[in-house]
Structure 1
Amino acid sequence: MQKKSKPKLKIRTGSKKETLVDSDILTLDEMFVKFMTAKQTEGLAPRTINEYYQHYDNLKDFLGQDMTNENITVEDFQGYIGFMLHDKGLAPMTVNIRTRTMRAFIRYCHKKGFIDTPIHEDFKPIKTPSDTLESFTPDEVKKILSVIDDSMYTGFRNKVIIYVLLDTLVRISELCAMKRSNVNLEKGEIYLEAMGTKTRKARIVPITKPTIDLLKEYLEIIEDFDDEHLFLTYDGHEINHATVRINLRDYGKGAGVKKRVSPHTFRHTGALWYIKNGGDPFSLQKTLGHSDMSMTRKYIQMSDMDIQGQHKKFSPINNLV
């Protein structure tokens, strides 16, 4: 095995960018190790760290070989984006998630002086329409619920999961991380611990009476299980993301719903219904756990389009024409 050369002494120029004196040639793998070492000091969730590795593996599969800081080009990343979109047929949102990860990696390499050219500035997430957030109609959710056999434990648990997803607007990772001890039925709220949220900030999400009633019954069913988590498998273990996704997908197929039936679609649906029912965007932002209003604003824009359609249909001016 070829012995890796040690990085040479680094100096600082007048800017904050670090430059290698007579720099060694570094491979993508070597630079990625340095990048992930830095990322692991930021307190990111284990799932996020794993996604960085997965996204890098996807890039390496496309490139077909390890490359170096001297021969990697912007065309490699532009080609990768085109490959994901056209050859793999991935959704634009999925492509953008992977692209942002790689941009963060290359931006780090440029900042550290491993790569001379800021090629991360020339490949960016693709533009997507602001109204592409898919959501369900009330009838579609009722159809999904109608195919669930809630006389069985798993069916009843999944029914509760759907209610909680719609009511609290949590992400799938936050749902699976919920603890029984953090469910307060009297106050009508669930406390999300910081380590279980995407933003690493704790927050409280409210729940309404229909969800409270279902949770009360569900908690009585699982009271003899030892695991501290709220949603458990039939043998009392913490449920994983994949199980929830597969169950929801199968219910969607059984109900004949043509849209993607996933935890995130329920999150979109709950947020859109919240705005349509008169909820204000600031409390919605807090419930969703968004760090800024940019994402929350999409739900408001979707709601505005619906309001315009309704206004055209029911405007009093129609009586004069």
Structure 2
Amino acid sequence: MDKRKGRTIKSERTSTRLQHSLDYLFDYYYQAKKSEGRAENTLKTYVQNYNYFCEFLDERKIVRDIRNINVEVGRDYIIWLRDEKRRFSDNCNVPESVRTVGLLPKSINTRIKNMKTMFKFLKEEEVIEADPFTYLKNVQDIGKDIEVLTAEEMNDLLKAPNQRKYSDFRDFVVINLLIDGMLRIDEALTLRKTDVDFTACCATLRREITKMRKPRIVPITKRTAKLMQELIRESTEFGSEYIFLNNYGERLVPNHFRHQLKKYADRAGIKKRVYPHLLRHSGATLFLEEGGSQRHLQVILGHADGRMTAHYTHLSDKNVKKNHDEFSPLNAVIGKLEKPRKTNRQS
């Protein structure tokens, strides 16, 4: 605005301003990733994390222009996420007690990672001249690992649903599948009847429903296969192609199952926070504790990198102790039996 005459001064063309618009750049990035075939949930994550960053910029009254973004802004964003950002928006249906201020380091790093990935992509595509977050570091996470469910807790959870009710029996089957096949909840609930080979006892996850957009075959036990067949017979009247349906014959959605799972956890007296992905964590950890191969687990989970599997499963102290007892170098020195040496004869 020209203070002398009170008129707006136009200093650059509209096309130039658009080129530097952060919203325009995000849309460029989003469309590129969509064209690569990224999963719908992954695309939603991109939008959510970009909206977080925009909320910060708007609060700080920083115009959404790439020329205003630098590493100092990024560091201020981290501080805002840690010290000022309120968890859950006002329109979320959650108790006031959980609307705490400040995100955990893991959540902050997730937000930062998404923005860093976007800026790096735009720089590589030569859409922007420099990556403003190149030197932005992650927050040090010294928190504890995820507390998985024990075998006893998972057994208690399976006992919680009332199998005489259709909805509870359906949830019982879902819980079995999540523990047995170690599927993500979206993968499980989008299974069609034709995706499961009940003779070979395996489920084929179509590329469009997996996180990495690659199909994979997941083995299941005969018990789980029989439970799924029984559920299909129970819901024949709906005529749906999907296996897991609500009481009206529509495909079961993750949020509804999350609510049900929490109810069963409370009923079972489990004090830990129980959610669908925890069953994947817990099943994977127990798989290794029982002697399963990490390489085989990587294939089942659908991880491209074995390091992700090693980190994901959060091996417990029980498994470390079990392996140490079996493979301690001292066993080779003195023998596994550790028989006491007899020096004196009995009188």
TM-score category (smaller protein): 0.7 to 0.9
| Compared CA separation, residues 250 and 80, structure 1 to 2 (3 A) | farther
Number of the residue aligned with 1:46: 40
Percent identity of equivalent pairs:
30
| Compared CA separation, residues 137 and 98, structure 1 to 2 (3 A) | same
Give 1:106-255 correspondences, 5 Å limit. 106-128=119-141, 132-255=145-268
| Displacement of 1:306 | 2.3
| Compared CA separation, residues 311 and 150, structure 1 to 2 (3 A) | same
State the SS of the aligned residue for 1:190.
strand
| Displacement of 1:287 | 0.4
Q: Say which is worse superposed, 236-245 or 160-169, in terms of deviation.
A: 236-245
Residue 103 in structure 1 maps to residue 116 in structure 2? yes
Number of the residue aligned with 1:269: 282
| Displacement of 1:152 | 0.9
| Displacement of 1:149 | 1.6
Q: Say which is worse superposed, 272-281 or 89-98, in terms of deviation.
A: 89-98
| Displacement of 1:72 | 1.1
Q: Say which is worse superposed, 188-197 or 217-226, in terms of deviation.
A: 217-226
| Compared CA separation, residues 125 and 264, structure 1 to 2 (3 A) | farther
Bigger radius of gyration among the two = 2
User: Hey, what's the Cα distance between the residues in 2 that align with 1:34 and 1:72?
Assistant: 17
Number of the residue aligned with 2:310: 297
Number of the residue aligned with 1:78: 75
State the SS of the aligned residue for 2:134.
helix
TM normalised by structure 2 equals 0.78
CA contact 1:27–1:68 (8 Å) conserved in 2: yes
CA contact 2:285–2:314 (8 Å) conserved in 1: no
Number of the residue aligned with 2:92: none
TM normalised by structure 1 equals 0.84
Please, which runs of 5 or more residues in structure 2 have no aligned partner?
A: 1-9, 85-100, 329-335, 342-347
Q: What is the one-letter code of the residue matched to 1:71? A: N
User: Hey, what's the Cα distance between the residues in 2 that align with 1:295 and 1:28?
Assistant: 32
| Displacement of 1:258 | 2.2
The C-alpha deviation readout for 1:49-96, integer Å capped at 9, x for no partner, is: 122111111111122154212111222222323333344433433333
User: Hey, what's the Cα distance between the residues in 2 that align with 1:222 and 1:91?
Assistant: 42
Q: What is the one-letter code of the residue matched to 2:151? A: P
Q: Say which is worse superposed, 287-296 or 60-69, in terms of deviation.
A: 60-69
User: Hey, what's the Cα distance between the residues in 2 that align with 1:200 and 1:187?
Assistant: 24
State the SS of the aligned residue for 2:66.
coil
State the SS of the aligned residue for 1:119.
coil
| Compared CA separation, residues 4 and 37, structure 1 to 2 (3 A) | farther
Number of the residue aligned with 1:20: none
The C-alpha deviation readout for 1:174-196, integer Å capped at 9, x for no partner, is: 11221111111111111111111
